[in-house]
Amino acid sequence: MKTINCQGHEKPITKLKYNLEGDLLFSIAKDSSPCVWYSINGESLGTYNGHNGAVYGLDVKWDSTKLVTGAADTFSILWDTETGKSLGNSKYKSTVRSVNFNMDGSQILLTTQQQKDEPSSVFLLDVAEIGNDNNCIIKTLKMVGKSNVTGSIWGPLDEYVITTHGDGSICQWDIKNEKCINTAIDHNLEINDIQSSIDMVYFITASSDLCAKLFDMDTLKCLKTYKTNRKVNSAALSPTFEHVALGGGEDVRQVTTSADKGGFETRLYHLIYEEEFAKVPGHFGPINSLAFHPDGKSISTGGEEAIIKINYFDSSYFNFKI
């Protein structure tokens, strides 16, 4: 396996995201400066400077012209991808946890974290109005009585949105009518990541309850469970094979006192049979985010040690049969 190391962040990686074509890899971390890299060789193309806190939310528009980020400084910033210039920002009452463009890039789904007396919220933004004194907000859902929102995705054709929560629950929202239309409670601890399949028929969740789960997008029915012996921080579905990748590991503060160390590999499972068939080592701390390249020929991982690894699979991966 060919591995390329990308070193540019100073603090733990929080999220990785490819653009639609896969030639660009975007990364965010707790150091406040999103970065962009050439995925083919790991060359750094630059940073997006403007946040003043850890960055947790990241997405890129389908045509790669715009980037949106959200951070602990309570700001979301819309960027020109090529120049790195800010096209506008919007401010909220707590940490911005996730941001997602809809299919045509005209709207952004944004969630905020529960802090003190401020509940988690879900916002729908008009991209054309961002920077115009928060007139960009189309809809607001206050998660009163619900656990902290930890992640979100759009459903197929933007018909609904899905949020994950700190208590392990998943909610499906008709955001236009401002109501929850379906709920699933299959995890029993915080959900750390949610990613959809390339066809948006399924999504996968990663949880602190030591497993990842595959769900039907429409019904929220749990279809498969991938078990580990470590907290799972991120999970992704291969766009070309029936493979699932899991990343995580024991928290850094616990590793020094635990007799059972390690667990920092990327674990590969068969989508249908739920069996682990390979491990990809390399990180020296927990993996916080991972993403398959759109062509399925490589996978990128971002770790607690602030290193990004782009791992290109060798021929044995493509010939493997379980």
- H-helix segments, the chain: 252-255, 315-319
Sheet holding 75-80, edge to edge: 55-60, 66-71, 75-80, 86-91
Mean pLDDT of the chain: 94
Q: Which helix (H) or strand (E) holds 282?
A: none
The pLDDT tens digits of the residues spanning 7-30 come to: 999 999 999 999 999 999 999 999
| Band of pLDDT at residue 107, cut at 50, 70 and 90 | very high
Question: Between vectors from CA 30 to CA 269 and to CA 36, what angle results, nearest 5°?
Answer: 75
What pLDDT is stored for residue 322 in this prediction? 72
CA dist., res. 245 & res. 264, Å (int): 13
What pLDDT is stored for residue 204 in this prediction? 98
What pLDDT is stored for residue 134 in this prediction? 72
Reduced to 3 states (helix: H, G, I; strand: E, B; else coil), residue 159 is coil
Tokens encoding 87: 């096209």
CA dist., res. 196 & res. 291, Å (int): 11
**Average pLDDT of 80-91?**
96
Tell me if 5 sits within 8 A of 309, measured CB to CB: yes
pLDDT at 201 over 50: yes
The CATH code of the domain that includes 50 is 2.130.10.10
Count of other CB atoms within 10 angstroms of residue 151: 23
**Average pLDDT of 198-212?**
97
What pLDDT is stored for residue 253 in this prediction? 58
**Average pLDDT of 1-8?**
94
Conformation bin of residue 64: beta by default, left when phi > 0, alpha when psi is -120 to 50: left
High-pLDDT (> 90) share of the chain, %: 87
Tokens encoding 292: 């398959």
Give the structural domain span for 172.
2-319
What pLDDT is stored for residue 259 in this prediction? 45
CA dist., res. 56 & res. 68, Å (int): 11
The pLDDT tens digits of the residues spanning 111-170 come to: 999 988 889 999 999 999 998 877 899 999 988 778 999 999 999 999 999 999 999 999
Tokens encoding 134: 């928060």
pLDDT at 60 over 60: yes
Q: Which helix (H) or strand (E) holds 48?
A: none
pLDDT at 195 over 50: yes
Residue 97: partners with Cβ closer than 8 Å, 6 or more residues away? 56, 57, 70, 111, 112, 113, 120, 149, 150, 151
What pLDDT is stored for residue 87 in this prediction? 97
- For residue 34, give the nearest of 4, 90, 75 by alpha carbon: 75
Number of separate domains in the chain: 1
Residue with tokens 């759109």: 294
**Average pLDDT of 40-67?**
97
The pLDDT tens digits of the residues spanning 225-271 come to: 999 999 999 999 999 999 999 999 987 555 554 544 567 999 999 99
pLDDT at 70 over 60: yes
- For residue 68, give the nearest of 121, 118, 132, 131 by alpha carbon: 131
**Average pLDDT of 89-99?**
96
The pLDDT tens digits of the residues spanning 258-300 come to: 544 567 999 999 999 999 999 999 899 999 999 999 999 999 9
